Amino acid sequence: MGSTPAQNPENNGSARVGRRDLIKRSAALGLISVPTMSFLSACASGGGSDNGDKAKEGKKTAKNPLGVNDTAQMEFVLFDGGFGKEYAEDAVKIYEKSFPDVKVKFSATQKIQSTLQPRFNQGTPPDLVDNSGAEQMDMGILSSKQQLADLTPLLDAPSYDDPNKKVRDTLRPGIVEMGQLEGDPVWIMYYAYTVYGVWYSQKALDSLDATYPETWDEMLAVCEKAKKKGMAAWTYAGKYPYYLPFSLYPMIGKVGGVEVLDAIDNLEPNAWKHPAVKACLEAYYELYKKGYVLKGTPGLDHIQSQTAWAQGKALFIPNGSWVENESAKVIPADFDLAVSAPTGIDSSDKMPFGTIWASGGEPFIVPAKAKNTAGGMEQLRIMLSEASSKNFTSKVKSLTAYNGGTDGITLTPGLKSGVAALEKAGQNVVNPRMQDWYVQLQKEKIGVSCLGEMMAGRLTPAETIKKIQAFADETAKDTSIKHYKHQ
């Protein structure tokens, strides 16, 4: 996510397999810009004029494998979020050095949809877009309207560092699959890599003479210790309660197995009525009932809740790994930032403690009607080099989709903790797709109308489950919405 509100298996009891096996033992971490409830309402149509000729293809060479026209302008629009824009500007300089006769038109905005939707409609989009943040355009609509270029040429091109390796062979497990919408060509390149979970100060936890709790009884005991010391145990982005799933969803997977999360993603009837969902919602509701949530949390936005947490007013916060960079100015030097996989219920949970949610984020797209699609893909090829990946990681405290790029970099506390959390998880990594498959359902309905209301004490867990299931059923029956299924 950035500095605007956040957006977005088979199982043998302990592991996800097949294409859903996103991470084996590769340690990875990153940040994500997650979409909010905004949609590409006046959807990009398949029509519109091209308003100008496509750039003529350049000569393909070892140094120019995509055949970029070395005199054609390239336009790159970046989401201006928690990562800032310096990493992208640095990559643009490399592009301009490779093609000295080209000046890249680079801009950054938080208003991706309102800025670019008219241009998509007119058939005059930029060549590369970081489609992220609160105004993320809906990927399903873009792909169904043939507005996205297939990124297969990029994936099959020689990598920037090693001509004997294709770009696809340099990426972290699961990145290519995430860019497919359902076994389609690859439409999206997720550049960053995110760990979701429960974030806290190791120093604060140590001051309570406590360790991170693995069962819910242990969690409640730690919460009580914090309360006795005048510290709230939890806070979250009350105005944007779709942050709660960052720890709640992997907890549901841990308790009931990944098949429960798949059923939820697949909009199956009664998926939300599974006993694991009930147990987890009741556990979270208990935090409210026992007074363990920071007073006033329902009125806080993501920045306010993160600031209160960084100031030591609350111990735990559900978040993504962008929080380290986004809260850098308010996190004390001796905070000792850490992240953990969510606490489970007890020893009957289907998956072991350490089960965590991690996935690609920061979705880059090359519009199908761009004048210089080869240029947009070449810019991505540069960004997926070891040097650009290292640059991103050192500047924004996140790893990229590039599988490496940490040699010689001193890992920050949160990054180091995230790497350790993923190593502990091993194959027990889940990747719920609700937030990128069904944006409005996830953010506005499940998040704001249901989970937010429950955590504010205005709905019971039973009422919350009934309401969410009704919203899910409504979405499943809505023929105007593109539906997805886990393969």
**Residue 9, amino acid:** P
Report d(CA 375, CA 104) in Å as an integer: 10
Classify the C-alpha dihedral 269-247-211-13 as positive or negative: positive
pLDDT score at 349: 98
Residue with tokens 């643009």: 92
Report d(CA 166, CA 175) in Å as an integer: 14
Closest CA to 66 of 130, 176, 159, 148: 159
Report d(CA 70, CA 16) in Å as an integer: 45
Report d(CA 359, CA 366) in Å as an integer: 21
| Burial (CB count <10 Å: 0-12, 13-18, 19+), residue 408 | exposed
- Pairing relationship of beta strands 10-11 and 16-17 according to DSSP bridges: antiparallel
DSSP secondary structure of 276-344: HHHHHHHHHHHHHHTT-BPTTGGG--HHHHHHHHHTTSEEEEEEETTHHHHTTTTS-TT--EEEEPPP-
The length of the chain is 487
Beta partners for residue 200, in sequence order:
338
Cα angle: 425, vertex 217, 305; to 5 degrees: 70
197-213 pLDDT, tens digit per residue, is 999 999 999 999 999 99
Domains by residue range for the chain, with CATH = 10-194+360-430 (3.40.190.10), 196-357+432-477 (3.40.190.10)
* Residues whose CB is less than 8 angstroms from the CB of residue 298 and which lie 6 or more positions away in sequence, other chains included: 238, 239, 452, 455, 456
Residue with tokens 């509701």: 285
Q: How many CB atoms lie within 10 A of CB 332?
A: 12
- Return the DSSP state at 385: S
DSSP secondary structure of 430-464: E---HHHH-HHIIIIIIIIIIIHHHHTTSS-HHHH
Torsion of CA 213, 431, 168, 372, to 10 degrees: -120
Helix-strand-coil split of the chain, %, nearest 5: 40, 15, 45
Classify the C-alpha dihedral 434-435-441-447 as positive or negative: positive
| Burial (CB count <10 Å: 0-12, 13-18, 19+), residue 299 | exposed
Report d(CA 433, CA 31) in Å as an integer: 16
pLDDT score at 404: 82
**Residue 441, amino acid:** L
Report d(CA 39, CA 136) in Å as an integer: 7
pLDDT score at 456: 98
Cα angle: 93, vertex 97, 62; to 5 degrees: 120
Beta partners for residue 364, in sequence order:
130, 189
- Return the DSSP state at 161: S
Beta partners for residue 405, in sequence order:
none
Q: Let me know: does 310 contact 332? Beta carbons within 8 Å.
A: yes
**Residues of the chain with confidence (pLDDT) below 70:** 1-52
For 303, phi and psi rounded to 5 degrees?
Answer: -70, -45
Q: What is the largest CA-CA distance in the chain?
A: 70
Q: Let me know: does 183 contact 193? Beta carbons within 8 Å.
A: no
Report d(CA 475, CA 24) in Å as an integer: 33
Report d(CA 104, CA 110) in Å as an integer: 20
